[in-house]
Amino acid sequence: MTLQIPISPVVDIHTHMYPPEYISILSSRDTIPLVRTFPSSPDPRLILLESEIPSLELALTDPTAPLPGRPLTKSFTSLPAKLAFMSRHNITTSVLSLANPWLDFLPPDEAGATAHEINTSFESMCASEPGRLYFFGTLPLTAPLETILASITHLTTLPHCRGIILGTSGLGSGLDDPSLLPIFSALATSTLPIFLHPHYGLPNAVYGPRSAAGEYGHVLPLALGFPMETTIAVARMFLAGVFDAVPELRMILAHSGGTLPFLAGRIESCVLHDAALVGKMGGKEGKRRRTVWEVLREQVYLDAVIYSEVGLKAAVEAGGGADRLMFGTDHPFFPPVGVEGGGEDGVWESVGLNVQAVDKALGEGSEEARMVMGGNAVRVLRLFE
């Protein structure tokens, strides 16, 4: 169906949901990721991250301990809540994705059927709201290769699918694993970009005992662990020559590429000055090595979920201009806190910070700001076609 393209649409390309099928899987588990109820909490708790294990263990033995994870509110699961959030924040269209850790933990023999079920569920949500919703599919990465490839073929039949969301673990050994190349090639051939999103962060030990005791909340794993994870994953792909091996592969990096815009120069310099790499890295048939900057400008897009003008300007510069950056909210994470009733039905400061960053960095009402807020997503993800 061809839809009329709205004038100056606002497109949110970083916005998650857990459909009911996924929540019932999490509710049946006793290791992370899981959903648990606690007598002192009105909402069940969603416990996802390794950094949340110490607080989970404490809460299971001490009923007065702070609650682990985050409340599993309707914002995580309900389509009407997503649509209401979009309306409140003037978001024309959302590109939904399953939130972390996707299907990374499923037994190999269950992953294929679950991916089919979840992708079908996203497709029917999107079909119910023409022009308002698209989605990034999810892959059964623990299943055998042919199941993963069949899942990609399935996604190509779903009219609202515009790519896939992927974590950094790949098939278990990271994204520089040569076994992933057939998967990357199939995605490239199907023009399904990868939305790369962190989940695993850094080992808990780097955050220290005070973080493990809950003193710093989620700040270190989310503000620093997540972006470093993304940065390392993409640097490994670059060093392994994945971008040269699959030149049609396109990636959209969460959180403005982690720290890549800031650290690309340092990565490039370390490659240039490393005797082990000189003359080794290069394209096919001995082609000249492409720099990190070239890869960023040719195969990579960044979301604009960085919450500050400074970071946003770096992301624009890294992409060689504002045409590789796309607005996102990271909803339903980062709801307002300290508001009676949780504040999820109000205006979200986290959204406002990202809108302001675009306005300040590119000029409110400018053509560049319009591109980042929606125009780029319409073009790159072929929306409304």
Instruction: Count interface residues toward ligand URA (CB under 6 A).
Output: 8
- Between 18 and 301, CB nearer to ligand URA: 18
CB 184 within 8 A of CB 242: yes
Determine, following the binding rule CB under 6 A, whether residue 303 of this chain makes contact with ligand URA: no
Q: What is the largest CA-CA distance in the chain?
A: 64
Closest CA relative to residue 134, chosen from 38, 11, 268, 252:
11
Regarding 368 and contact with ligand URA (CB under 6 A), the answer is no
Based on the shown chain and the rule CB under 5 A, indicate whether residue 123 belongs to the binding site for Zn ion.
no
In contact, 138 and 102? CB cutoff 8 Å: yes
Dihedral, CA of residue 233, residue 235, residue 236 and residue 237, to nearest 10:
90
Q: Is 315 in the site for ligand URA (CB under 6 A)?
A: no
Do residues 162 and 96 make contact, with C-beta atoms less than 8 angstroms apart? no
The residue from 11, 48, 202, 312 that contacts ligand URA (CB under 6 A) is: 48
Residue nearest to ligand URA (CB): 333
- The DSSP output letter for 383 is T
Kindly identify the residues of this chain, within the stretch 163-222, that bind ligand URA according to CB under 6 A.
222
Name the minimum Å distance from CB 199 to ligand URA: 7
Binders of Zn ion among residues 320 to 349 (CB under 5 A) are 330
Comparing CB distances to Zn ion, the nearer of 9 and 328 is: 328
Among 10, 13, 59, 99, binds ligand URA (CB under 6 A): 99
Q: Which of 15, 51, 55, 100 contacts ligand URA by CB under 6 A?
A: 100
Look at residue 383 and give the partner it binds from ligand URA, Zn ion, none, a contact being a CB closer than 5 to 8 Å depending on partner kind. Answer: none
Report which DSSP code applies to 150: H
Residue 222 contact partner, candidates Zn ion, ligand URA, none, CB within 5 to 8 A by sort of partner? ligand URA
- E-assigned strands of the chain? 11-17, 34-36, 45-47, 70-71, 93-98, 133-138, 161-166, 194-196, 251-253, 300-303, 325-326
Please tell me the distance from the alpha carbon of residue 293 to that of residue 296, in angstroms, as a whole number.
5
Residues of this chain that bind ligand URA (CB under 6 A): 16, 48-49, 99-100, 222, 330, 333
